[in-house]
Chains A and B, each alone.
Chain A
Amino acid sequence: MLSLFLIVVNALNEGFLQTLKLFAVTLLGALPLGLIISFGSMSRFIPLRLLTRGVIWVIRGTPLMLQLIILYYVPGKVMGYSPWGTGEPGRFLAASIAFIINYACYFSEIYRGGIQGVPKGQQEAGMVLGMTGRQIFFKVTLLQMVKRIVPPMSNEIITLVKDTSLARIISFQEVIWAGQAFMKTSHGISGLLWPLFFAGVYYLIFNGVVTLLLGKLEKKLDYFK
């Protein structure tokens, strides 16, 4: 009985490790890429601005699942061979790229709101006091922008934790994939339903931790309005 439990937990742990990897890589890639895209969407050079906003429209306007399928399967069908290879590393790479691009577009809109939300008077007050552009950004604007983006960013990050499960559409072996496998047969065990519920517990606990951490950050920035 105990050994059965350990086998399932081990399998789920392995799946959740993949979930975590995809989550971490997406966050690391999309947070800076989103900032770059937000600068593009605010550019005074109109063609760049229109192009960036067009890309954001397409990426946010279509399902992430569709983007995953297209990115993973279409190159292989068109070119005759898959650039992703056949194994799990290729699936992880493809999933990472699709997730980073998708989330960077969402993040960029949050950044844009944060940057444009800081009143222009703040910058002018810094200028009148003889501060450099760099000093104004780092000493005046940045923290106000961070404060503004933490709540919408928290929402997006919690959604990302759950969205990683979409990667199973290209057979990425994350935690739900691992749990569902026991409904049929996995590790010599068949017809188990509870691993699926147990997979949900992983998400609950992890999102609980994420919520606490982001809540702490929000509270830390609560000392000013």
Chain B
Amino acid sequence: MALLEVREMEKRFGSTQVLGGISFSLEEGKALAVIGSSGSGKTTLLRCLNFLETPDRGLIKVKGETLFDADDKASYSEEAIRQKRLHFGLVFQNFNLFPQYTALENVALAGKLREKDKGKWKEIEERGRALLGQMGLSQRTGHYPHELSGGQQQRVAIARALALSPDVLCFDEPTSALDPELTNEVLRVIRSLAQQKTTMIIVTHEMAFARDVADEVIFMDEGAIVEQGPARQVIESPSQERTRQFLSRYQET
């Protein structure tokens, strides 16, 4: 059974249809890359999954449990949404670390706020330390975000998203704000997460990375899925003309 199932998801902003009936599913331990030009709805898709936007229509299921059903959205309280969104983690393009907290505090904050028993805070911090170590940042746990490079900040953000053990980890163009040198250190981390069978959805413009790391690729255009399949197949021999057009622009540069 698929870990994540999205059915007929639609979203409009005013009169603009941003998502027009998106359906896909994702198996546990697989990495899905979402590619497409700016404005194709990739980011909105991630924001809907993380309940930062409310879809107008559609269904989101994780492990068979219906997290969201547009026909039933009146029944979702703030509190219910708060619990449901923890099935997903989100890594932002601009990191969005909390500037007043150290790297470790950034990773541990949400966990501590959820744990009333202060005796367990040490465990939460230990886990945060371990996650930062996994990101290659064990020497940086006490640093504030402004003391870290962009690549280091993004790796802290990945650790922060992993700290609450989401079922699906989402990346919204995680390297778009980074220069090429720093891009690689972040991609390396995501690659190792893929090797550890972390279920992921990665919105990215790094085609080679999507081909090598993702199991599946979805190509989106104007709010719809144009093509979907095994990563290597979609990127190296796409079946749709629109996909070919899009990918050819990357080969030129």
Contacts and interface: CB of A to CB of B under 8 A. Distances in A.
B106 to A, nearest CB: 9
Contacts of B208: none
Contact of B96 (A124, A135, A225): A124
Contacts of B164: 129-130
A3 interface: no
Interface in B85-131: 85-86, 88-90, 92, 94, 96-101, 109-110, 113-114
A87 to B, nearest CB: 49
A122 B96 contact: yes
Contacts of A108: none
B86 A125 contact: no
B146 interface: yes
Contact of A127 (B85, B97, B145): B85
B98 A122 contact: yes
Interface stretch (A89-97, A137-145, A194-202): A137-145
Interface size class for chain A?
Answer: 20 to 34
Contacts of B52: 124, 127-128
Contact of B90 (A128, A131, A133, A139): A128
A225 B100 CA distance: 8
Contacts of B94: 119, 121
A62 interface: no
A174 B52 CA distance: 55
B179 to A, nearest CB: 20
B81 to A, nearest CB: 9
Contacts of B101: 224
B50 interface: yes
B99, B114, B146, most chain A CB atoms within 10 A: B99
B85 A144 contact: no
Given A128-B85, A130-B83, A130-B86, A121 B144 contact: no
Nearest to B47: A124
A45 interface: no
B244 interface: no
A126 B101 CA distance: 13
Contacts of B109: 129, 139
Interface of B: 50-52, 78, 82-83, 85-86, 88-90, 92, 94, 96-101, 109-110, 113-114, 144-146, 160-161, 164
